[in-house]
Amino acid sequence: MQWITLFQKEMLENWRNKKWIWFPLVIILMAIMDPISNYYLPQIIEATGGLPEGTNIELPDYTPSEVIMMSLGQISSLGVLVIVLISMGTIAGERKSGVSELILVKPVAYRNYITAKWAALIVLVWGALFIGLLASWYYVTILYGSLAFGSLLLVVLFYGLWLTLVVTVSIFYNTLFKSVGVVGFLSVLTIMLMSLVTKIFGRFLNWSPIHLSDHIFDMLMMEQISTELIATAIITLAITIILLTGSIFIFKSKEMAN
Amino acid sequence: MTLLTVSNLTKVYDKKAAVDHVSFTFQKGKCIALIGPNGAGKTTILRTLSGILTPTTGSVTFADNEKNEDIRKWIGYLPQYPVFYSWMTGKEFLVYAAKLAYTPKAEAEKRAVELLKKVGIEEAGDQHISKYSGGMKQRLGIAQATIHKPKLLLLDEPVSSLDPIGRREVLTLMEELKQEMTILFSTHILGDADEVSDELLLLHQGKIVESGTMAELRKKYQTAKIELEFQHDSIPYQAKVNAMASIESSYVDQNMLHVNAIDITQARQDILHVASAENWPLTSFSLNRASLEDMFMKVVKR
């Protein structure tokens, strides 16, 4: 009951500050950029002045799976930054402004306060991811060939886990620091370090959440869900739960005024 | 009936005690003023009682809390500079605050409308809080602090930032709220404390230096001073006054003659008798009741 109240407030806030409009639009834009630009590349080159007579460019024929992966690639880089951007102030900002002082003197359970904020962000991020990849899928089917809708849903499901982790990392830093900038910086830094460590020790970290998209690509190619994908998904989920639980404990032990 | 017991409350910041072994008890239905200069620890005490801060040592105990429940449900708190979600309307914020304190939705809506009216911002109830003035925010702050019918209302400088009209209205509102709940409010404006509070706690450098009802403190710090003001220079009258048996000493300050009496009742009689017999050009005669200011200065300097 109290959780629902907190959750509804977050949803209403995200609606009133137009996050529910611009964030999905940004994700759609990122998702359809590569499918469209790659398809029309020859026409684009011609329209921008063309190349000398006799130049012969062979453009690779992309498979629908490869193009969907391009969309994921865009969301992995730029999309993650935008997710950090929309989530970095959710608790830190309220503490900084002082409004949390009014809220947390009410008998609000800290776990409700944190998980309601987390859930509202997850709904927003998953909603945008779904709409974005749906748009990408639409262009892929028209321009490159068919891709089963079921496969698309699986991509959303597994890739959504990675974005969930990104949101959770941001929530975690939100409970640690009051400065919105610090939260944003550390969240991005953490994700970059995770990626770096995975690249260096890749052979040993096959189940690192960073590898989710690789395993998703394999899934599309092989048309079956590998055990690596399942294992990586479980690891991602586990880290998410640990971080979220940790956030609640940190928040409980903190004094709200400081 | 005791509502709350605070014992040996201490809050240390950077090795400095902002609140230093403070103990007191609250009786139900009283209005208590926490008085002290800036930095005396008023806000720290209020924040600790509200549960925002955890005491370094000491405890805050509600008398009725045998089951050791979350005390926040019995507390309403208004910070000195309340900040709201500016994208909400005043009414939305009140309903939200009430629901967070487990008030059912229908009841919350009803209370929100009532309180908006009570604090005098009912026309602004459907406006976004971003459009509210400082005074309106202060009123909304009081409304949100009382919407869940707390037993203890904590107000941090509730009237200091208001204009004279707003100040008067909020003080009247506090008089009303006093009937329903115990109020603890901080202020550095002594007149406000004098006006609405039943009891006073004087705070200085984190310690309670004096406490009691207004009458008790008045009595304790009463001075035996009389002030005479003359139309012109008061020097010619000083000797005559000093000659009276009831007078201890006096000093001249231009047209004013400040008199320290041994027996204030006798001194008044003596002076008025001579003054009327000799037709002194008096413009004012005042028996100095100890003002809260004097009292405060005395206590602090002690």
What's B176's domain CATH number? 3.40.50.300
What was the pLDDT predicted at B226? 84
**What span, in angstroms and rounded, lies between the C-alpha atoms of A87 and B209?**
47
DSSP strand pairing (B207-213 vs B199-204): antiparallel
Contact: B100, A101; criterion CB under 8 Å: no
Which residues of chain A have a pLDDT value below 50? 257-258
Do both B201 and B266 map to the same domain? Answer: no
CB B147 within 8 A of CB B75: no
B135 touches B165 (CB < 8 A): no
Looking at residue B150, its pLDDT comes to 94
Residue B259 domain-assigned?
yes
Determine, yes or no, domain membership for B125.
Answer: no
Whether B258 is covered by a domain: the verdict is yes
Let me know whether B169 and B278 are in one domain: no
Coil vs helix vs strand at A117: helix
Which residue, among A106, A108, A110, would best test binding to B if mutated, counting the most B CBs under 10 Å from its CB? Answer: A106
Q: Provide the pLDDT for residue A152.
A: 94
My answer on whether B216 and B243 are in the same domain is no
Q: How far is the C-alpha of A210 from the C-alpha of A192, rounded, in Å?
A: 10
CB contact under 8 A, A106 and B81: no
Low-confidence ranges of chain B (pLDDT < 70): 222-223, 288-294, 302
Task: Pick B83's closest partner by Cβ from A99, A105, A255.
Answer: A99
Q: What is the pLDDT of residue B288?
A: 67
Compute the distance between CA of residue B186 and CA of residue B35 in angstroms, rounded to an integer: 6
Q: B148 in contact with A at a CB cutoff of 8 Å?
A: yes
The H-assigned helical ranges of B80-213 are 90-100, 105-118, 134-146, 164-177, 190-196
Classify strands B152-156 and B31-35 as parallel, antiparallel or unpaired. Answer: unpaired
Among candidates A17, A98, A107 on the partner chain, residue whose Cβ is nearest the Cβ of B73? A107
Number of domains in chain B: 2
Whether the CB-CB separation of B271 and B244 falls below 8 Å is answered with yes
For the record, the structure tokens of A6 come out as 């907190």
A91 near A174, Cβ under 8 Å? yes
Which residues in chain B have Cβ-Cβ distances shorter than 8 Å to A108?
72, 100
Quote the pLDDT of residue B290. Answer: 57
- What is the pLDDT, as a whole number, of residue B291? 63
Nearest to A105 among B51, B84, B96 (CB): B51
Is A98 within 8 Å of B51 when comparing Cβ atoms?
no
Both B211 and B229 in one domain: the answer is: no
Length of chain A: 258
Q: How many CB pairs under 8 A join A and B?
A: 64
Q: Which of B162, B187, B220 is the last residue of a domain?
A: B220
Q: Do B254 and B191 share a structural domain? A: no
Residue B205, domain extent: 2-64+151-220
Separation of alpha carbons A200 and A192, rounded Å: 12
Amino acid at B107: E
Residue showing tokens 């009303």:
B176
ipTM for this model? 0.89
Q: Do A9 and B84 touch (CB under 8 A)?
A: no
Q: Dihedrals φ, ψ of B299, to 5°?
A: -65, -45
pLDDT at A258: 46
Of A6, A105, A256, the CB nearest to B75: A105
Return the residue of A nearest to B141 by Cα: A102
Place of tokens 């009014």: A102
Domain check: are B214 and B233 in the same one?
A: no
Asked, for residue B92, whether it belongs to a domain, the answer is: no
In this predicted model, what pLDDT tens digit does every residue of B229-250 receive, in sequence order?
Answer: 888 888 888 888 888 888 888 8
pLDDT of B289 reads 60
* CATH at residue B289: 3.30.70
DSSP helix/strand/coil, A176? helix
Q: Which of B14, B100, B105, B142 to mutate to test the interface with A (most CBs of A within 10 A)?
A: B100
Interface of A to B at Cβ within 8 Å reads 1-2, 5-6, 9, 13, 16-17, 97-99, 101-108, 255-257
Residue B137 covered by a domain: no
Residue B281 lies in a domain: yes
* Chain A nearest C-alpha distance from B100 (Å): 6
Both B157 and B293 in a single domain? no
Tens-place pLDDT, residues B163-203: 888 888 889 999 999 999 999 999 888 778 888 889 999 99
